[in-house]
Amino acid sequence: MCPTRRYSGSDMDIRETICPLCGNPSPGGEVCGQCRAEKTLWLECPPRVSAVICPTCGARKEAGGWCDLHIERDELARQLITRTIRLHPDLRDISLAITLDDISVNRSRAECRVCGTLFGVRVEGSCGIEVEWKREQCDRCCRISGSYYEGVVQVRATGRRPSAREVEETTRIACAVESSMMESGERLSFISRLEEHRDGIDITVGSQRLGSEIAAAITRELGGRFTTHPKLVGEKAGRQVFRITYSLRLPRYSRGDIILVSGRHMEVLGVEGRQLRCLDHVSGLVRSVPERQVERRAGHKGDAAAWMVAFRDGDLLGVLDPRTGITREVKLPQGREISPGTTVRIMEDGDRLVLLE
């Protein structure tokens, strides 16, 4: 019969301060950090990650939806890898280095090196991940290529053809509204076509909301009004599908026009129905003028050019024609102080000069 071994107090102290696996010092006699780190799977890498990109516009697909935020290819690969690498929750002081190498147009190889501290021990690991670049046409480009649209904004003018300036402004406003809605996340609110006609311009839009916003923005800036004309084109998932024509009429006279009323030149500041709010460039006063009193349209303030003031004689100014250098006279509006040597904006109406504000 074997004798019973008795442990002394010193033996018990030693057992309580060493790792039971490697024998190295360990407070409380627990498994040390080195042994725990060696037995822990702290780094997991998928063999492959994929990125889906629209070859037409560069949008990328994420979580079943499309995103227009453009990122460089290498940066996108690094983001995908960083999201898919799995690290132990107790890993601290993490350092991740990724080296990318293009294998082909549709493949890249990433070498990942990860460093950190796990259970108080410095650990290092590496893995290789293949990045697959997939091409798929996004929902917006599919609609555009398929000539899909939900409405048309038809811009016309009352009793005349829209001027080149109005067509340019209409295009600018429409594109600004489209950009604003795109930035807010409405990817399907696109302009698929801008067509200039003899009577005006047609703006074909991919969503009814975009059509409504464009029509409202144009009327705010250029005046006029618009009406909507829906047309039933079919059914989808049991719901009726409509296309809407936004018929927009610019006023006969628009803001910035120079008109002739009772032989006096006035600038149109705004249009309210059949009444024009005008600035009389001779008196400097703002007046309300019925549209029927307008004799004719003399031009637009955008047609004005810079003329140099050569002299002043009472209420007459001598100004130099920038084309010919000949001095011509124009009446100084009431309440305005203009000295020789300054530059003024003048519009020509035949033989008459119109001094603008």
Burial pattern 305-317, b for ≥16 Cβ within 10 A else e, equals eebbbeeeeeeeb
Number of neighbouring beta carbons within 10 Å of residue 110: 20
Number of neighbouring beta carbons within 10 Å of residue 29: 16
DSSP 267-302: EEEEEETTEEEEEETTT--EEEEEGGGEEEEEEEGG
- Are 125 and 151 part of one and the same domain? no
**Domain assignment present for 95:** yes
Question: Residue 335 above 80 pLDDT?
Answer: no
Give the pLDDT band of residue 38 (cuts 50, 70, 90). Answer: confident
Q: Which of the listed ranges 144-153, 228-237, 273-282 does the model predict with the highest average pLDDT? A: 144-153
- Are 211 and 309 part of one and the same domain? no
| Helix or strand (DSSP H, E) at 312 | strand 305-313
Find the mean pLDDT for residues 60-68. 86
Last residue in a domain, options 202, 221, 250: 250
**Domain assignment present for 14:** no
- Are 225 and 245 part of one and the same domain? yes
**Domain assignment present for 3:** no
Residue 112 · residue 96 · CB < 8 Å: yes
Last residue in a domain, options 135, 162, 177: 135
List, for residues 70-97, the tens digit of each pLDDT value. Answer: 888 889 999 999 999 999 998 999 999 9
Among candidates 119, 111, 51, which has minimal Cα distance to 85?
A: 111
Among 131-140, 189-198, 335-344, name the one with the lowest average pLDDT: 335-344
Number of neighbouring beta carbons within 10 Å of residue 355: 22
**Domain assignment present for 7:** no
List, for residues 123-164, the tens digit of each pLDDT value. Answer: 999 999 999 999 999 999 999 888 899 999 999 998 889 988
Among candidates 211, 199, 215, which has minimal Cα distance to 243?
A: 211
- What is the pLDDT at residue 195? 94
> What is the C-alpha to C-alpha distance for residues 168 and 276, in angstroms, rounded to an integer?
23
Domain count, the chain: 3
- Are 188 and 216 part of one and the same domain? yes
Last residue in a domain, options 79, 102, 135: 135
- Are 226 and 305 part of one and the same domain? no
- Are 38 and 107 part of one and the same domain? yes
**Residue 316 sits in which domain range?**
257-355
**In a 10 Å sphere around its CB, with 0-12 CB exposed, 13-18 middle and 19+ buried, how is residue 265 labelled?**
buried
